[in-house]
Structure 1
Amino acid sequence: MNNASSSTPLGAARGIDPDLIAGIIIVLGAGALLTRTSDMPGMTALLPVTMLSALIVLGLLMIGRCLLRRRRRGDPEATAPAPLKVFDNARRFFGIVVAIAAYVAGVALLGFYTTTAVMIPVVAWCFGYRSLKGVLLADLIFTGGIAIIFVVLMGQELPTEFFLR
């Protein structure tokens, strides 16, 4: 009898929504990183400040959407979807976390361009994209685009490649 009452739409509305967790983590993380940009020169800080501010806005939108969805679930007239699982695929989530850690370590050890050029095809392959031509084209466009933006247009140096040290 207790199980039946906990599976009602109102019971589902009381669970923790993964969008709420993600939104809070994004806002707090981007806010913490945004405080570190105050020591940067103006042109250098432009991109990080813009990206982190956009992350904060998007995180707040995620939180707002979650709260609106929760409010609708509390309405007896509304039909609530099945309860959301925090991890639909925990293995994939932890794979993403490991890939991010490997990327950060790779940038420090190998350099930005080398790590980016290696990680794009590896991550694409892990997520099931098997077109070698498409992966190499995306890799060239992304890595080349970053080089053009930072080196040519902004005059900024990214972490030096291991073979140039």
Structure 2
Amino acid sequence: MKVKVNEKYNFNVDINNDEITVDDQMLSVDSRKLADGHSHFIYDNKSYRIELVSENKADKTAEVKVNGRIYQVTIEDQYDQLLKQLGLDNSQSSKVKEIKAPMPGLVLNVIVAEEQEVQKGDSLLVLEAMKMENIIKSPTDGIVKKILIKKGDKVEKNEILIQFS
């Protein structure tokens, strides 16, 4: 499996019973499970206290505390790798490339800027329709590539408002 730490460091990890191989190098590790989500490892004559802070099984991500320092960990197993090779990985399929107007209306405010990184649920713009203000939120994580509207613009239903890269 592939393990990514802090979106920066990549490792190929194989765990077979008590044998751990990282990047084709066998590691001699003495480990003990202490309590739920807590472990203790000794590797290369150094002691490591490990705590599972949080885990998202759907995204295969976790937050792990090692000797007081927190690390973000992402795991990609053999099935994820196969789906990616076939072009069927859901990380790409769930990406939204554009935001369209859900109804005709008037753009009251554009909250984001081009090249801005947004998270799922972040407010993008305010659209007035039928005397009601509607906050249009991002359906996905991404970077705003282009904003095709400005404050004061009248838009039609399904008109493209924002594009993501």
Q: What's the TM-score, normalizing by structure 1?
A: 0.21
Q: Which has the larger radius of gyration?
A: 2
Choose between structure 1 and 2: higher strand proportion: 2
| More relative contact order, 1 or 2 (CA 8 Å, 6+ apart) | 1
Q: What's the TM-score, normalizing by structure 2?
A: 0.21
Choose between structure 1 and 2: higher helix proportion: 1
